[in-house]
Each structure stands twice: as C-alpha cells, then as structure tokens.
Amino acid sequence: MKFEIKNQPFTILTLHMDQGESVKCQSGAMAWMSDGIQMETKTGGLGGMFKKAIIGESLALNHYTAQRAGELTLAKQCPGDIMMFNVSEKPIIAQKTSFLASTDGVNMDIFLQRKAAAGFFGGEGFLMQKFSGAGYVWLEIDGAAQERELAAGEKLIVDSGYVAAMEATCSMDIQTVKGLSNVILGGEGLFNTVVTGPGKVWLQTMPVNSLAMNLFQYMPISSSN
C-alpha cells in the first residue's frame, strides 16, 4: 500500500489502496475517498471497547476495504504532523489518543508504565498505547516531530507532554525539578519526564494541552447578568 503525508501543519494522509487492501482508522478521521472503497464499523468486542475507552480512543474503529483500486484520505483533528511506523520491526509506545490508522495486522494494546509516578506526574499519562504485530501504523503528532536515538543508558530530559512516541526498548521515569525558585518562577512545573535508551524517541513541538492553554488567555470572558 502506497501513501502520502502532506499539507503540514494541516496534515492529511492519503492511502493509495489496491483491490482487497484494507485499513482501520479512528472514528471521524475520513476526509474523502474514492467510491470503490467500502466502510464497516467494528467495535472489537467488549474487551476491545474497554481498552479504547480507558486510553481515550473512540469505542469503534472504521474499517475501509478497497473493492477496486482507489484512494482514502484521512485528516488530523488539530494542527500537527502524521508519522508512519513499521511495527513489524519494533513495537511502538505512543501517547494516548495518537492513533490515526493502521493496516489490519497491527495490534493496539494498553501499555502500563512500570513506574506509576512517571504517568501521574510526567505528563505523558499513566496509560499509553502499545502497537505491535505486523504492518504499519500512522500516529498523530502535536506540532512537528523530532527524532532522537538514545544509546543504552543514555537519558533525555523532556518537559511534560512532549514525548509523542518511543520504541518499546526505551523506559520512562520522572525527575523532580530542583530549587524552589525554579519551580515557582521557571514555568516548567514540578516534574520532567526522563526517557532512557536504548532506542528511538519521537518528540512533539506543540502538545495539544499546551496549545489549548496558550489559546485560552485570548478567549473572551463572558459575564452573566
């Protein structure tokens, strides 16, 4: 299956599908498609619905199958990038709600961080998503993506919310920001996320929660009479 990622930061993913090829994608992601492509909504059973619910994904996935060769175009929900990962090579751990689409052989499971504190305070969430199996997955990135490859034992200190994805060989923990004045005046919060190699980590330049908070200050304040 060939694909194109274009029009950043209002990014779209166009999949060029041959007859018989199929993909599954997040509910509401389809922007336009050829008339030879058929959609079917599947829940994956109660177990699958439960997993999706607790990681913030839609309860049902839309499966698109090409009855004849055609194109399927998917769009992001907010400005940012789309990245493709081949999970046949290595499983990928990603932030919640990042799933956009995948080929049929990809499995999506809950990833529970080994240290609960890393999730509660690190900003990436106590629960993340793990993608494994065989095939490709496309993930939504907030802002632009930056890739770093860490050697065994090498650490990368990241502000909360900036970790988009990492290879399953990496681990994640938290680090307390030292110094009272740094905490109060630094604007970075109490904790940073620490990612330790070996493996690749993908960072995002504009976490959607940070974007929302920055826009909030410009929102008009309504008053009730």
pLDDT in tens, 93-120: 999 889 999 999 999 888 876 555 544 5
Half-sphere exposure at residue 119, Cβ-oriented, CA atoms within 13 angstroms: 15
Distance CA 128, CA 98 (A): 10
Exposed (0-12), middle (13-18) or buried (19+): which is 83, by Cβ within 10 Å? buried
The domain tally of the chain equals: 1
Asked whether residue 26 is domain-assigned, the answer is yes
pLDDT given for residue 48 in this prediction = 55
Asked whether residue 75 is domain-assigned, the answer is yes
Asked whether residue 225 is domain-assigned, the answer is no
Q: What is the CA radius of gyration of the chain?
A: 19
Asked whether residue 96 is domain-assigned, the answer is yes
Output 220 or 99, whichever has higher pLDDT.
99
Distance CA 166, CA 154 (A): 14
The torsion of the CA quartet 122, 100, 62, 92, rounded to 10 degrees, works out to: -70
Report pTM: 0.81
pLDDT given for residue 186 in this prediction = 45
Residue 52 reports pLDDT greater than 50: yes
Residue 44 reports pLDDT greater than 70: no
Contacts for 200 with CB less than 8 Å, ≥ 6 apart: 147, 148, 149, 150, 166, 167, 170
Contacts for 122 with CB less than 8 Å, ≥ 6 apart: 160, 172, 173, 174, 191, 192, 193
CATH number at residue 42: 3.60.160.10
What is the tally of helices (H) and strands (E) in the chain?
Answer: 4, 19
The 10s digit of each residue's pLDDT in 54-98 is 555 566 789 999 999 999 999 998 889 999 999 999 999 999 889
Asked whether residue 62 is domain-assigned, the answer is yes
Contacts for 106 with CB less than 8 Å, ≥ 6 apart: 87, 131, 132, 133, 134, 135, 136, 137
The torsion of the CA quartet 176, 182, 187, 192, rounded to 10 degrees, works out to: -20
pLDDT given for residue 159 in this prediction = 86
Output 211 or 9, whichever has higher pLDDT.
9
Asked whether residue 222 is domain-assigned, the answer is no
pLDDT given for residue 204 in this prediction = 94
pLDDT given for residue 60 in this prediction = 79
Distance CA 8, CA 5 (A): 8
The 10s digit of each residue's pLDDT in 161-210 is 899 999 999 998 877 766 444 444 444 556 788 899 999 999 999 887 66
Q: pLDDT above 70 covers what percent of the chain?
A: 75
Asked whether residue 28 is domain-assigned, the answer is yes
Parent domain of 70: 2-216
